[in-house]
Chains A and B, each alone.
Chain A
Amino acid sequence: MIGNGAVVLAEGAPSLQPLTAATGVFGYLWILIALPLFGAAVLLLGGRRTNKWGPYLGVLTVSLAAIYAIILLVSLMGRPAEERAIGQTLFEWVFVGGFSVPVALQLDQLSMVFVLLITIVGSLIHVYSLGYMEHDPDRRRFFGFLNLFIASMLLLVLADNYLLLYVGWEGVGLASYLLIGFWQWKPSAAAAAKKAFIMNRVGDVGLSLAIMLIFVTFGTVTFDSVFAAAGEANESTLTWIGLLLLLAACGKSAQFPLQAWLLDAMEGPTPVSALIHAATMVTAGVYLIVRSNPIYDGTAFALTAVVIIGVITMFMGAIIGSAKDDIKKALAGSTMSQIGYMVLAAGLGPIGYVFAIFHLLTHGVFKANLFLGAGSVIHGMNDEQDMRRYGALRTVMVITWITFMCGYLAIIGIPPFSGFFSKDDIIHAAFEQNLLVGVCTMLAAGITGFYMTRMVIMTFFGKARWPDDAHPHESKPVMTIPLIILGIGSVVTGAALLYWGNIESWLEPVTGIEEKPLPIPAIILEGITLAVVLIGVAIAIAKYRKEVPVEAPKGNLLTVAARNSLYDDAINDALVVKPTYVLSDGSVFVDDRIIDGTVEGSARFVGGLGSRLRRLQSGFARSYALLMVAGAVIVVAILYLARLP
């Protein structure tokens, strides 16, 4: 019943790969989402009863999902390339007139890799959380929210139409809201959570409008039908759709101008930062853009916009990351910048899509690694996050240090660590497309080298600047083992995906691929890149080898600006928040005084009129008589004057 719809599609869209019916092992696609959802339901509705075993259930569901995902991958690889897109319609969801949206899942090469990233990294972080959240009274709820997040994220990447994607999109937003504000009694946390949700909401406006425009244009919101017809739509429409989707992506992926929430989001527990605000959710924007590649292919304008946004954010993030002393915020800045890379890559079009995803995957691994490492440090330094109070930790936290180094080398892109392959591919693509963009990416790589080195030195090298009460110690195995796995991941993912996994040809059917000649030979380019990175590293070493003051020095203008996250909050306040409050107070005034005032006023007027008119009733019989005489005169007058034809 699912297949036949798809066959028609295949004819309608020759360029597109057909959806094949979900049979055999794929018949249970929905289990993938159902598992963590079930976990979430049990943990959140179960109440205190589940306190004891709840967390383990949470871990279990995700791990099962991960195992199933691997099975799916294997059987997917077992299939011929043109049958690797599986569609499964579960039931009719929203249907009115011509608008009909099913709850239907679609597993193709693109969603497959996401499913893997989400479930595997997800389960590792779940395990890690067992240790990290051990003493938190609300562990149960924490794991419940995590499960909820995994479920929504899977829905997001498995949905086969935009509206269903929206549900997952908002679901992860909700989970992120709940987890950022997990320590709700901290006003800062609550505020950060609200900020994140509302800024995402702005992006959602883009997504909803995009969906409406898509429907009005194509008469459907199902991916394959839309993409099949994308070629026939006129360019301006596509441009609008592209820009609106970009707006959505900016919200979710903390891209300029909607980036301000990400740094505050670090208020959440570190595993959350690792999973949601580094590895998976924040990359959803990239997924959206890559997924919609047939639309972007039709509009150079939107693509350019995507690139510009990517470049801006890439630098902003890098600069912010270079100045923050809070280790998590520094990492958050780097996340922004790395996602900037991906968005930029996606903006390059068919040349870049694949590499955007590629970098997304490697980043997912090594950034999770770095965050969990940071978490381990924070845990060891009993919740001190200021890097200026760290130093020389390599001596006491060996595993953390080593794994962190793997992530470090990966992110700055030293061969053969994973980041090297993905980032260099992006830089290549950038140069193939446009020299300027290429140079930007290269510079950003250099800055990356700088801020990551700074972070490593301030944290693990130099003298110890610990607070007196701090007794840093290595974390428990339950935390270190995931670290180790991810550390290995940071080393191998890149090569594995590129050479063994052959990611380019794997994704090609979804994203298409395109090669252009490089202006300069690849090897030289790589050399230069590496050189730039090393320069960045060198500067950092030079700057921080010697004593790091516990109190941050004044620093030059740029540093100060960067410490204040480039004043994004100030700007938002001035441009959006303040005006909203003014507007709101204004309307309240209007409502109380003017609108309700008019109502009350008219009532009072009638009352007043009454008490004035009753004075006519003077109580003197003769004045009544006078009134009568006057009345009689009036009557005569009326009879003479007012007379119907």
Chain B
Amino acid sequence: MTPDVMPAPSIDYIALLPYILVGAAGVIGVIVEAFVGRGARRPIQLVLVFGSLIGAFVILVVNRATQGIQAEGALAIDGPGILFMGLILLLSILVALLMAERQLDPAGDAFAPRASALPGSEDERELTVRGYFQTEIWPLFLFSVFGMMLFVTASNLLVLFIALEIMSLPLYLMAGMSRRRRLLSQEAALKYFILGAFSSAFLLFGIALLYGYAGSVEFSAIADALAAEPGQTALVVGGTALLAVGLLFKIGAVPFHAWVPDVYQGSPAPVTAFMAAAVKVAAFGALFRVMYVALGGVRWDWEPLLWIIAGLTMLFGSVVAIAQTDIKRMIAYSSIAQAGFILIGVSTATAQGLYASIFYLVAYGFTTIGIFAIISMVRLSGGEVTRLDQWAGLGKRSPVVATSFAIFMFALAGFPLTSGFIAKFLVFESALAVDNLGLVIVGVIASVMAAFFYIRVVVIMFFREPVEGAPAAAVPSATTTLALAISVAVTVILGILPEPVINLIEQAGVFLR
């Protein structure tokens, strides 16, 4: 150690451009909030958001060739990493489209005019009447996306932790910003925050233990340490366990799922879509990297763990979803079950499993966003109508919307000619390829039970006569329509012609270390 001279770090800014773009856009957004007049904010924010996200995605695609460990081993920009980032950006763009919606709710968009205002208080009503829109949510959103991008490419545990926080903190706030049902929304935010912080504490302590074991937080260093002296030590086991807890929490795997239903139900529909789609992708990206790269040496230890977790998650999610009466809550439990299916891919510890899971995430992400787009459309004057029985006869009043929803349901249930089927096919195959028949059987059982409630929605929409004063799907503005259209298209096309996507994923190669 030579304390006097400090070598300048070599950083390839071109490779980091996507991060920089999104991050900077977020910062600028904050500044805009601070200095620009209320009227002008929204357009500028929209330009920033879509500009940065699309830009980042384009850049990502353009120099997808430049891969490697970047920023002094902080980030690993490799094939899978780029895939995850690209997917996150695409999903975020769709979510942004949903967030930009301001036609469904007569009072404006889906978010509270001022999150701090007291629910039902005088000034809130006044703000509403004055037609205020709060635009702080946009920079928050960008920061969250930025965090996700770091999260899936983090190549050392410190960056992992920080990325996790950058991703999560804005989400906690966004969860509380619903215009309607403020109390639920705030409750969701509180629970999400408390539990999120709690889990990140676990994660951090896990990091500490691993650091203690390996003397470094670099994934590669940890991997080397494990390779050098295999076998269990308290530090490794404890570290792995706590790290897993932190990541599985974000994924929403049983038994760390408890927050999912409450938060999904309470948050505004677009934010829920963001959590259900993008956050899940990010969390899985990180989980994969940690497990495959850093902890690949002890995979004999964590494979059984993930089998059990995956099985529990699939079964629990499916069973409890059957008993739900609120559509958002049902989808929340279904997303828990779906996480279980994706975990099957992780638990194989093979490249095949990785590809299967990525495909599953693609299919699942787009379908989920489509689902929440429709949930945000089905409403009465009081806001979204999420009681299942009120959806009765929707097929008669809004055939197109109901049909799209049915397609999503069949996709989640894994019917052929939808993306969900190919996805299930691939994960099951990856499991059978490592002779894990048991997990597949559990998967099959769970799928049957899951099908039960997916189909029930279709029954309610198409076979039941509409109840009095039942809602119809409101006509959304172009943005939501576009998002919905894209989700339907992807869901169907991936079901009929998955070939290109499969190839794309399989070209991604493996994680760099």
Residues of A within 8 Å of B302, CB to CB, are 639
Residues of B within 8 Å of A616, CB to CB, are 258
B198 touches A631 (CB 8 A): no
B258 touches A610 (CB 8 A): no
A606 to B322 Cα, complex, angstroms: 8
Total A-B residue contacts, Cβ distance less than 8 Å: 91
Residues of B within 8 Å of A642, CB to CB, are 304-305, 308
Contact digits for A610-622, partner B, Cβ 8 Å, 1 yes 0 no: 1101101101010
Residues of B within 8 Å of A624, CB to CB, are 191, 195, 258-259
Contact digits for B279-308, partner A, Cβ 8 Å, 1 yes 0 no: 000000000000000000000111111001
Considering the complex, give the chain A residue whose CB is closest to the CB of B323.
A610
B330 vs chain A, min Cβ distance (A): 11
Residues of B within 8 Å of A610, CB to CB, are 319-323
A321 to B497 Cα, complex, angstroms: 82
Report if B194 contacts A (CB, 8 A). yes
Stretch of B85-93, B241-249, B399-407 contacting A (4+ beta carbons < 8 Å): B241-249
Considering the complex, give the chain B residue whose CB is closest to the CB of A633.
B241
Contact digits for A626-638, partner B, Cβ 8 Å, 1 yes 0 no: 0110111011101
A623 to B368 Cα, complex, angstroms: 28
Contact flag A632-B195 (CB < 8 Å), given A610-B321, A613-B319, A639-B301: no
A621 touches B255 (CB 8 A): no
Contact digits for A577-611, partner B, Cβ 8 Å, 1 yes 0 no: 00000000000000000000000000100110111
Report if A546 contacts B (CB, 8 A). no
| Cβ contact of B324, chosen from A614, A627, A631, cutoff 8 A | A614
A413 to B198 Cα, complex, angstroms: 113
Residues of B within 8 Å of A623, CB to CB, are 258
Contact digits for B238-265, partner A, Cβ 8 Å, 1 yes 0 no: 1011101100010000111011011000
B245 touches A631 (CB 8 A): yes
A634 touches B238 (CB 8 A): no
Q: Bin chain A's interface residue count.
A: 20 to 34
A644 to B322 Cα, complex, angstroms: 34
Contact digits for A419-446, partner B, Cβ 8 Å, 1 yes 0 no: 0000000000000000000000000000
A632 to B253 Cα, complex, angstroms: 12
A603 vs chain B, min Cβ distance (A): 8
A609 to B322 Cα, complex, angstroms: 9
Report if A625 contacts B (CB, 8 A). yes
Report if B141 contacts A (CB, 8 A). no
Residues of B within 8 Å of A500, CB to CB, are none
Report if A553 contacts B (CB, 8 A). no
Report if B355 contacts A (CB, 8 A). no
Contact flag A617-B261 (CB < 8 Å), given A624-B195, A625-B195, A632-B241: yes
A621 to B255 Cα, complex, angstroms: 14
A642 to B301 Cα, complex, angstroms: 7
Interface residues of A: mostly helix, strand, loop or mixed? Answer: helix
B176 vs chain A, min Cβ distance (A): 14
A630 to B241 Cα, complex, angstroms: 12
A619 vs chain B, min Cβ distance (A): 7
A607 to B194 Cα, complex, angstroms: 31
B8 vs chain A, min Cβ distance (A): 42
B262 touches A619 (CB 8 A): yes
B300 touches A644 (CB 8 A): yes
Residues of B within 8 Å of A631, CB to CB, are 245, 254-256
Report if B452 contacts A (CB, 8 A). yes
A635 to B202 Cα, complex, angstroms: 12
B319 touches A609 (CB 8 A): yes
Residues of A within 8 Å of B262, CB to CB, are 617, 619
Contact flag A644-B258 (CB < 8 Å), given A621-B194, A621-B195, A624-B195: no
B255 touches A613 (CB 8 A): no
Interface residues of B: mostly helix, strand, loop or mixed? Answer: helix
A642 vs chain B, min Cβ distance (A): 4
A606 to B317 Cα, complex, angstroms: 12
B316 touches A613 (CB 8 A): yes
A625 vs chain B, min Cβ distance (A): 6
A639 touches B258 (CB 8 A): no
Report if B237 contacts A (CB, 8 A). yes
A613 to B261 Cα, complex, angstroms: 13
**Most interface-central of A609, A639, A640, A645 (chain B CB within 10 A):** A639
B187 vs chain A, min Cβ distance (A): 9
B194 touches A625 (CB 8 A): yes
Residues of B within 8 Å of A634, CB to CB, are 255
Report if B507 contacts A (CB, 8 A). no
A644 touches B319 (CB 8 A): no
Contact flag A628-B195 (CB < 8 Å), given A609-B319, A617-B261, A638-B305: yes
A352 vs chain B, min Cβ distance (A): 69
B194 touches A643 (CB 8 A): no
A632 touches B242 (CB 8 A): yes
A617 touches B237 (CB 8 A): no
Residues of A within 8 Å of B191, CB to CB, are 621, 624
Considering the complex, give the chain A residue whose CB is closest to the CB of B242.
A632
B300 touches A643 (CB 8 A): yes
A630 to B245 Cα, complex, angstroms: 11
B195 touches A638 (CB 8 A): no
Considering the complex, give the chain B residue whose CB is closest to the CB of A620.
B191
Considering the complex, give the chain A residue whose CB is closest to the CB of B191.
A621
Residues of B within 8 Å of A632, CB to CB, are 202, 241-242, 245
| Cβ contact of A635, chosen from B259, B305, B319, cutoff 8 A | B305
A606 to B302 Cα, complex, angstroms: 30
A514 to B324 Cα, complex, angstroms: 89
Residues of A within 8 Å of B319, CB to CB, are 606, 609-610, 613
Report if B422 contacts A (CB, 8 A). no
Residues of B within 8 Å of A617, CB to CB, are 258, 261-262, 320
Residues of A within 8 Å of B232, CB to CB, are 640, 643
B255 touches A645 (CB 8 A): no
Residues of A within 8 Å of B449, CB to CB, are 606
**Most interface-central of A611, A617, A619, A628 (chain B CB within 10 A):** A628
Contact digits for A500-526, partner B, Cβ 8 Å, 1 yes 0 no: 000000000000000000000000000
Contact digits for B14-56, partner A, Cβ 8 Å, 1 yes 0 no: 0000000000000000000000000000000000000000000
A638 touches B308 (CB 8 A): yes
Report if B190 contacts A (CB, 8 A). yes
A636 touches B238 (CB 8 A): yes
A621 touches B322 (CB 8 A): no
A294 to B261 Cα, complex, angstroms: 84
A543 vs chain B, min Cβ distance (A): 77
A319 to B177 Cα, complex, angstroms: 101
4 new A-B contacts, CB < 8 A, other than A624-B258, A625-B198, A642-B308, are A613-B320, A631-B254, A639-B240, A644-B304
Closest 3 interchain pairs by CB?
A610-B323, A624-B258, A631-B255
- 19 A-B residue pairs with Cβ-Cβ distance under 8 Å, sorted by A, are A610-B319, A610-B323, A617-B262, A617-B320, A623-B258, A627-B258, A628-B245, A630-B255, A631-B245, A631-B255, A632-B241, A632-B245, A635-B241, A635-B245, A639-B305, A640-B237, A642-B304, A643-B300, A643-B301
